Amino acid sequence: MAISNGFKMHVEFKNKLRNSCLVLVFGFTTIVYGASTADDYYNKGNLESKRKHYIEAISDYTKAIKINPQYAKAYNNRGLANLNILNLSQSLSDFNKAIQYDSELAVAYFNRGVLYRKRNNLNRSIADFTQAIRINPNDAGVYRNRGIAYGIKGKFNEAILDFTKSIQIDPNQAEGFYNRGVIYQQQENFIQSISDYSRTIEINPSYSKTYIKRAFDYFKLEQYKEAWEDIKKAKSLGYKFNGNDSKFLDSLKKKSDKFKYEVTGKIL
């Protein structure tokens, strides 16, 4: 999982989504209704995107592009609008055009990288995130998303480096700590994983999945009381348990009951 797993809309005004930031380019000038310039249509498209009127936004960006066929930011934002209506092929085409007309538009590489990752084309995804970092080395979200791609590939050391860099840039983001905790858990470094999940909870105490992940670490360290406390907290936050959770809970119950019996000499 990843708290931060998704797209970014590049902006002079960034609208960050918890699960994967899409970047849309805003930066409005005065809107002129009955617009006739590329910028007017572009601005109007941004307003429609902000309202989640994606079909209307696509229409406005298309009009802007018709007037200015090399309008890179309009291609980027139309790509995001197409993405939101699951028109993935057109979305990819738009990101390609944005990069063709502005090879230094970091967010277009970022958005294309996320799209490639969602299509499980991890090598291209990582290459695009790397290009975005070259252009803008101070964007925590890009390191975090490249870290996710490395994690999916099983390149855990590279993933940890990227999550750590993301945290250094933005130490108050829950996503970086959570994702690094997931990798440490994969490496069976449960103490470090607990530390990262605990920091995640400090920043975002309402994300119920973190408590389940930390409970598993406590279980592996035979800290059964702490594990049950986290499970109880997750349940109070409305966490929906699935089949894998049931297996974990069964194992925890058996282990903790055995532990209680060994300590007390009683079947509890």
Q: Mean pLDDT throughout 47-66?
A: 97
Check pLDDT > 80 for residue 156.
yes
What's the domain range around 217? 207-268
In a domain, 154, yes or no: yes
**Residue 246 has which token pair?**
């049931």
What does the DSSP 8-state code read for residue 265? S
Q: Mean pLDDT throughout 141-170?
A: 97
Taking the C-alpha atoms of residue 137 and residue 105, their distance in angstroms, rounded to an integer, is 13
Is the same domain home to 199 and 247? no
In a domain, 124, yes or no: no
Q: pLDDT at position 22, please?
A: 58
Is the same domain home to 20 and 104? yes
Q: pLDDT at position 258, please?
A: 62
**pLDDT one-digit tens code per residue, 100-112:** 999 999 999 999 9
In a domain, 4, yes or no: yes
Is the same domain home to 186 and 212? no
Check pLDDT > 70 for residue 158.
yes
Q: pLDDT at position 261, please?
A: 35
**CATH number for the domain harbouring residue 175:** 1.25.40.10
Contact 74, 42 (CB under 8 A): yes
Is the same domain home to 9 and 115? yes
Check pLDDT > 80 for residue 33.
no
Check pLDDT > 80 for residue 5.
no
Q: Mean pLDDT throughout 139-163?
A: 97
Is the same domain home to 115 and 13? yes
Contact 184, 152 (CB under 8 A): no
In a domain, 211, yes or no: yes
Contact 2, 148 (CB under 8 A): yes
Contact 199, 214 (CB under 8 A): no
Is the same domain home to 28 and 106? yes
In a domain, 127, yes or no: no
In a domain, 24, yes or no: yes
Q: What is the mean pLDDT of the chain?
A: 87
Q: Mean pLDDT throughout 17-45?
A: 66
Is the same domain home to 175 and 74? no
In a domain, 192, yes or no: yes
Q: pLDDT at position 243, please?
A: 85
> Which of 131-135, 206-210, 253-257 is predicted with the least confidence, judged by mean pLDDT?
253-257
Please, what is the end-to-end C-alpha distance for the chain in angstroms?
35
Q: Which residues pair with 9 in a beta bridge?
A: 23
Q: pLDDT at position 111, please?
A: 96
93: which residues sit within 8 A by CB, 6+ positions away? 79
Contact 82, 58 (CB under 8 A): yes
Percent of the chain with pLDDT over 90: 79
φ and ψ of 16, to 5 deg: -90, 125
Is the same domain home to 166 and 97? no
In a domain, 131, yes or no: no
Give me the amino acid identity at 51.
R
How many folded domains does the chain comprise? 3
Q: Which of 91, 83, 128, 93 is nearest to 110 (CA)?
A: 128
Angle between helices 224-236 and 243-264 (to 10 degrees): 140
Check pLDDT > 60 for residue 160.
yes
Is the same domain home to 78 and 89? yes
Give me the amino acid identity at 34.
G
**Coil vs helix vs strand at 168:** helix
Is the same domain home to 174 and 241? no
Is the same domain home to 184 and 215? no
What does the DSSP 8-state code read for residue 69? T
**pLDDT one-digit tens code per residue, 228-261:** 999 999 999 999 998 889 899 999 999 887 655 3
Higher pLDDT, 268 or 6: 6
Q: Which of 222, 208, 127 is nearest to 174 (CA)?
A: 208
